[in-house]
């Protein structure tokens, strides 16, 4: 329990919500329109910026910048990278092993939020996606990082093979990725790639019309072989 | 800090529609009080925020969480007042599908994991 009273200022509304009256929200007009949302929480126990920063360090891997008291919060992915680089803890990952999500949403691809927990049953760090769909899923599986890497490597190879068989040449694959429609193999490829640190591929998102389009504001490197070379290297295969 | 509701003038009382499963789901989803923060972040991302700001005031007794995404108004406010809304098919303010899913994250502020 973090707060006993919360005020939400948003748009033209001022909403007040209390712990002891959880089924009621009081609304007042907000005098000055607020674009965005501001949550003001009266905390049950005091909390420090360092505590929040520390929490985000462990749980936030997203791409939207977070500022704590005006300072950019640490981004968890760097912290995790450091941990692994220093060999502190053997990373485990909970992965959607049985349901490789062809249908995964673009927001999840672009802005994953992960959480690392110390788990007493495992002698290392447990990393699991904090997407509640996964968190509640019976399919959730924890595997060792080594197994995960094997799995993802196999995934790369199978996807690349499937794509190559379908399109024949790297140029054709690039043309399809960059210009025209999409198929499940490509979607899966993007997802798998982003599970590593393929920030370049964040430019792609799948929209309702099933066309592959760049995400506004993202770095554009389309029509080059860079990503393919990187994937080939990762997958240990040649095309 | 004084009560946040400083004046009862022009106050409208809104009821939240809450199904019994909500409290059960809360116990499954939120084990750390700071998970509420994660929920705010996910909501902000779903609302198309480009920046998120957190300020700590009053010697740590007040937290202000702000983002520049879409405000909660109209249909979003209606949805906000319905706990357990299944929003998986709903698109976010940016036209993308949302991370938030069960529509109960906002209750995590008041959930005491020790009580279950």
pLDDT digits over A90-102, tens only? 444 433 322 223 3
Query: DSSP for B63-114?
Result: EEEEE-S----HHHHHHHTBTT---TT-B-TTSSBPS--SS-GGGGGT--TT
- DSSP labels, A198-237: -GGGGGEEE-TT-BEEEPTTSPP--SSSHHHHHHHHHHT-
Q: What are phi and psi of A199, to 5 degrees?
A: -60, -30
Would you state the pLDDT for residue B93?
Answer: 44
**Residue B22: pLDDT band by 50, 70, 90 thresholds?**
low
- Is residue B58 pLDDT above 80, yes or no? yes
Residue of B41 and A211 predicted with greater confidence: B41
Question: What secondary structure does DSSP assign to B28-63, as a single string?
Answer: HH--STTHHHHHHHHHHHHTT-S-EEEEEEGGGTEE
Q: Which two tokens mark A123?
A: 């002698």
User: Which residue numbers in chain A have pLDDT < 50?
Assistant: 76-77, 83-84, 87-145, 148, 177-239
Q: pLDDT band for position B6 (50/70/90)?
A: low
Touching B: A residues 5-44, CB under 8 Å: 5-8, 10-13, 15-17, 19, 22-29, 34-43
The pLDDT, as a whole number, for residue A73 is: 77
Q: Which of A21, A40, A53, A117 to mutate to test the interface with B (most CBs of B within 10 A)?
A: A40
* Chain segment B95-110, per-residue pLDDT in tens: 444 434 345 556 666 5
Query: Please, which pLDDT band fits residue B68 given cuts at 50, 70 and 90?
Result: very high
How close, in Å, is residue A236 to chain B by CA atoms? Answer: 33
Q: What is the pTM of this model?
A: 0.53
How confident is the model at residue A227, as a pLDDT?
42
Q: Do B38 and A39 touch (CB under 8 A)?
A: no
Strand locations in A23-136, DSSP E?
A: 24-43, 66-68, 71-72, 90-95, 114-118, 124-129
The yes-or-no verdict on residue B89 having pLDDT over 70 is: no
**Residue B4: its pLDDT value, please?**
54
Q: Which residue has the tokens 């295969």?
A: A237
Q: Choose the weakest-confidence range: A166-175, B40-49, B73-82.
A: A166-175
Min distance A136 CA to chain B CA atoms (Å): 8
Q: What is the pLDDT of residue A184?
A: 40
Interface contact B99-A108, CB threshold 8 A = yes
pLDDT of amino acid A35: 92
In the prediction, which pLDDT does A45 show? 79
């Amino acid at each position: 329990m973090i707060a006993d009273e919360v005020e939400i200022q948003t748009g033209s509304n001022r909403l007040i919500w209390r712990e002891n009256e959880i089924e009621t929200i009081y609304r007042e007009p907000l005098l000055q329109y607020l674009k965005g949302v501001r949550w003001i929480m009266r905390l049950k126990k005091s909390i420090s910026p360092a505590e929040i920063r520390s929490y985000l360090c462990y749980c936030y891997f997203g791409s939207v910048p977070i500022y704590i008291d005006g300072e950019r919060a640490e981004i968890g992915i760097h912290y995790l990278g450091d941990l692994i680089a220093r060999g502190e803890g053997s990373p485990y990952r909970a992965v959607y092993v049985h349901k490789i999500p062809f249908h995964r949403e673009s927001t999840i691809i672009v802005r994953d939020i992960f959480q690392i927990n110390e788990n007493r049953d495992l002698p290392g760090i447990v990393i699991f996606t904090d997407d509640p769909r996964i968190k509640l899923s019976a399919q959730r599986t924890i595997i060792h990082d080594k197994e995960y890497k094997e799995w993802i490597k196999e995934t790369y190879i199978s996807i690349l093979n499937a794509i190559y068989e379908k399109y024949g040449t790297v140029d054709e694959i690039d043309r399809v990725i960059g210009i025209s429609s999409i198929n499940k193999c490509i979607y899966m490829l993007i997802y798998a790639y982003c599970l590593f640190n393929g920030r370049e591929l964040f430019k792609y998102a799948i929209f309702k019309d099933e066309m592959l389009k760049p995400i506004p504001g993202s770095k554009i490197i389309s029509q080059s072989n860079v990503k393919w070379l990187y994937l080939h290297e990762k997958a240990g295969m040649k095309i | 800090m004084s009560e946040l509701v400083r004046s009862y003038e022009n106050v409208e009382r809104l009821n939240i529609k809450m199904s019994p499963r909500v409290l059960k789901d809360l116990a499954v989803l939120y084990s750390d009080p700071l998970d509420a923060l994660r929920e705010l972040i996910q909501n902000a991302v779903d609302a198309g925020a480009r920046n998120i700001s957190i300020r700590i005031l009053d010697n740590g007794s007040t937290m202000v969480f702000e983002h520049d995404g879409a405000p909660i108004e109209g249909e979003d406010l209606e949805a906000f007042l319905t706990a357990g809304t299944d929003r998986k098919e709903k698109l976010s303010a940016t036209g993308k599908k949302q991370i938030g899913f069960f529509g109960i994250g906002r209750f995590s502020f008041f959930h005491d994991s020790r009580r279950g």
